[in-house]
Amino acid sequence: MKLAVVTFPGTSCEVEMHRAVTKIAGGEAEIVWHKGADLSSYDGVIIPHGASYGDYLRPGALATTTAVADQIVEMANEGKLVVGVGNGFQILVELGLLPGAFLQNPSLRFESGRANVRVAQDQTIFSKGYAAGDVITLPYATQFGTYYNEEEVPADQIVWTYEDNVWNSTQSIAGMTNAKGNVFGTMLLPERAVEEVLAGTDGLPLFESILGSEQ
C-alpha cells in the first residue's frame, strides 16, 4: 500500500507522519505538496496536523478550496483509505467526509498534552491492531479540539472515546469513521506515539492496522 501524506501551507507534522508510516511501521509513503498534486497512483491519503492556511476563517476551511481536496473526496468515494489527524480531521469535516463541526476548547486556549482514550471497537480498518476496551494514551495539540455534532453518531462509527472528556466532545468522540468505514479522523496525534523514546507506542497499532488492511 502506497500512501500520500498531503500538505498545505501551515501543515507542520508531515515529517513525523511520514516517519511513522515508513521508518517505524515499515510502509510506503510520500509527502505530497497540495499544489499540482496527482493522487491517482496512491492507495490512500493521510492529512497530517498543523494549521492549514493559518486556520484562517475556520480550521481546515481554506484547504477544502484546493484542487487536491476534490481528489481526496474522489478517493474516499472510491473506497480508498483517507485519514485525517488533528487539523486533518478538521479538514475531513469541512469536506463533508465526516459529519459534525469543531469548536474552540472550553478553555478558549491552545492546549497540548496526552489524553487517555478507550478503544470502542476493534473491527474497523483502523483499529484491528487494538483490542476493544483497551485504554491507550495519545498526544494532542490544538485550540479547536471540541468535536460537535447535533445528531447522534452511530456507535459503529465511533472508534475511540475520551476517558476524561475535558473538551466536551459529542459522545466523547476521540476518533471516528464515516458510514462506509474507509475514512478516519481523530484530533489525537498517533504519529507522536510510535516509539518508547517519544510518548510510548500506543499510536503504532493504528498504522499497522492501516498497512495491513486489504484494498
Grid look-up 507542520 returns: 12
Q: Mapping DSSP to helix (H, G, I), strand (E, B) and coil, where does residue 123 land?
A: coil
**Rounded CA separation 12/105 (Å):** 20
**Rounded CA separation 87/48 (Å):** 7
pLDDT of res. 215: 42
Is residue 214 scored above 60 in pLDDT?
A: no
| Closest residue by Cα to residue 119 from 200, 183, 176, 195 | 176
Specify whether the backbone of 17 is left (phi greater than 0), alpha (psi in -120 to 50) or beta. alpha
pLDDT of res. 199: 83
pLDDT of res. 198: 85
pLDDT of res. 37: 96
Each residue's pLDDT tens digit, 46-96: 999 999 999 999 999 999 999 999 999 999 999 999 999 999 999 999 999
Each residue's pLDDT tens digit, 141-185: 999 999 999 999 999 999 999 999 999 999 999 999 999 999 999
Tell me the β-bridge partners of 146: 103
Is residue 134 scored above 90 in pLDDT?
A: yes
pTM, rounded to two decimals: 0.96
Tell me the domains of the chain and their CATH numbers: 2-211 (3.40.50.880)
Each residue's pLDDT tens digit, 96-113: 999 999 999 999 999 999
Each residue's pLDDT tens digit, 183-207: 999 999 999 999 999 889 999 999 9
SS3 helix, strand, coil % of the chain, rounded to 5? 25, 30, 45
- In total, the chain counts a number of residues equal to 215
